[in-house]
Chains A and B, each alone.
Chain A
Amino acid sequence: MAEHFFSVRSLRKAFGGLVAVRDVSFDIPKGSIMGLIGPNGSGKTTVLNLITAELTPDSGSVLFEGKEIIGLQSFQVCRSKIARTFQLVRVLPYMTTRENVMLGRMFGSEPVSPSQAAHDADHLLARVGMAGKANMFASQLTYIDQKRIELARALATHPQLLLLDEWLAGLNPIELRVGIDLIHQIRREGVTIVMIEHVMEAIRALCDRCVVLNAGGKIAEGTPQSVLSDPEVMHAYLGIDDAAA
């Protein structure tokens, strides 16, 4: 059997009696964008946390280029070229924008010296539209700009797989356009992307395939078009009555 680029196999995680992720499996082909969607509390972020070793699964495995990554620590996952952003944006407030991005470059998969990292960070900042703000403290930035440096920090680690947790949430229509273009561009450079997202416009524009979670289990998988018209998905999102109407 052909080896998949990235596979999640029967991943399971319970918090006490609550099963947050129930035997979820999916594969992602190299160079594609997969949407991980589902109502609030359906276990999307938990899946991301399990992949990046923020949480330890009860069972299941995650294969990245054929190698098991469950059991690695978070920093090792990052160094094996899997980067992520956080649902509630997380920047280092009293470091400058440049320093925030430098960290990814200095400790990611191809570590370099601080001076080289500073140089590369400036390029990445320009790419996410933050060129003029390199010396500002991250705490002084707007929400959107903080999201941008979070993305730049993730890219600085030189990932092959990028996990975005609602990175487009909270953007206004113009910013959303820019954000979608940016993700397109990252994919064109060969980075495979998993994105948790609620913005339907972005899902339709970007995702090759979607996996839909509800109450911790996978209820559908396919193209955005097909899963969004799936009755079970509509039930999950809207409730039975509204879906029927």
Chain B
Amino acid sequence: MLEALKKARLATAAIVVIAVLLALVPLYVSDYIMSVFILLFANIALATAWSFFSGATRYISLATAAFFGIGIYVLAVVHVYVPVWVALIAAAVIGFLVALVIGLSTLRLRGVYFVVFTFGLTELIHQVLNWWEIKINRTVSRYIFTDVSNVSIYETLLFVALLTIVGSWFVSQMRLGYALRAIGEDETVARHAGINTTRVKVICFALSASVMALVGAVLALRYPYVDASIAFNSTWSFQVLIAALLGGGGRAWGPAIGAIPLVLLSEFLAGTFPHHFSIALGLCFVVIVYFLPGGITRLILRLHHSWQTRHRRDHAGAH
């Protein structure tokens, strides 16, 4: 018990130190480095939010781009009328509500049906919005006029990313977190152990979606204009899924650990091989998945475990 308390204190201290250091980064780096960090935090928040629901329950969602895009569009439409912070909150709330409705109607689908449905959903929203904009609003894109600085965007996304990780850890320690994992392992058993599986799934799906919409809205502040193809780009769904898998599940910090190399690698490859970027990235993933099937988290935990065992053995040998 004492050890757990000590560990919790250490973790809190570490998070605070990392947060403060990262918050100071904009003072010292170029605009380019800062934009890489912005992309990094966005991916960390998305991957953590994705893993919070899909990693735990194993309902693999490809709807990340749908909620991300909803956030972008809510901001684009609403920011003209209200302060930016209100627009951001509106994005999160609308993302939550849309996911609630979608969740209620679709979370009875399992396995590949759910995957395909969520993928189709993104495309459906994309096309409907496109049609609406062209036919009803007689426009193809929307301009975004704000005076939000890159530093503010950086700090906001840093906050969102940290909040998502800490929140995700927090929930994992609650009854809700256990319920999520139980659903992922055997939904029938979960039901018969007294878990209201439908409610747990819908609430967590919506929580996860609200983070995705919020990230989309914050990133949209950087865009001069958006259209449906920019907002609802499925690449986001896949990239987030890959980051989460690369990081590995089971720990709240896992997806973040996966997002870091993914974003850096993408940046490096896009700069170095602009024409063969996708091929190079794909090859890297094949290699990574082949050698690290459990993700980086598993590797770290294994190294930590073997270090502990050796440590203990050496200690025992000294007596």
Residues of A in contact with B (beta carbons under 8 Å apart):
52, 54, 73-75, 77-79, 83-84, 86, 90-95, 99, 102-104, 106-109, 111, 113-114, 153, 157
Contacts and interface: CB of A to CB of B under 8 A. Distances in A.
Given A92-B182, A95-B182, A84 B192 contact: yes
Contacts of A94: 185
B181 A95 contact: yes
Contacts of A107: 175, 179, 193-195
Given A102-B178, A107-B175, A114-B175, A74 B192 contact: yes
A48 to B, nearest CB: 11
Contact of B175 (A74, A77, A84, A111): A111
Contact of B194 (A90, A92, A109, A114): A109
Contacts of A92: 181-182, 185-186, 189
A96 to B, nearest CB: 11
B182 to A, nearest CB: 5
Given A75-B195, A78-B193, A111-B194, A103 B178 contact: yes
A183 B191 CA distance: 24
Contacts of A90: 186, 188-189
A75 B189 contact: no
Contacts of A103: 178-179, 182, 190, 193-195
29 contacts: A73-B191, A74-B191, A74-B192, A75-B194, A75-B195, A75-B196, A75-B197, A78-B193, A79-B194, A91-B186, A92-B181, A92-B185, A92-B186, A92-B189, A94-B185, A95-B181, A99-B178, A103-B179, A103-B194, A104-B194, A106-B179, A107-B179, A107-B193, A107-B194, A108-B193, A109-B194, A111-B194, A113-B175, A153-B189
A86 to B, nearest CB: 8
Contact of B178 (A73, A77, A83, A106): A106
B21 interface: no
Contacts of B29: none
* Minimum-distance CB pairs A-B, first 3: A107-B194, A92-B185, A78-B194
Interface of B: 173-175, 178-179, 181-182, 185-186, 188-197
B193 A153 contact: yes
Contacts of A75: 191-197
B1 to A, nearest CB: 10
Nearest to B193: A103
Contacts of A77: 192
Given A75-B197, A114-B173, A114-B175, A95 B185 contact: yes
Contacts of A114: 173-175, 178
A91 B193 CA distance: 11
Contacts of B196: 73, 75
Nearest to A106: B175
Contacts of A83: 192
Nearest to A163: B192
Contacts of A84: 192
A109 B290 CA distance: 45
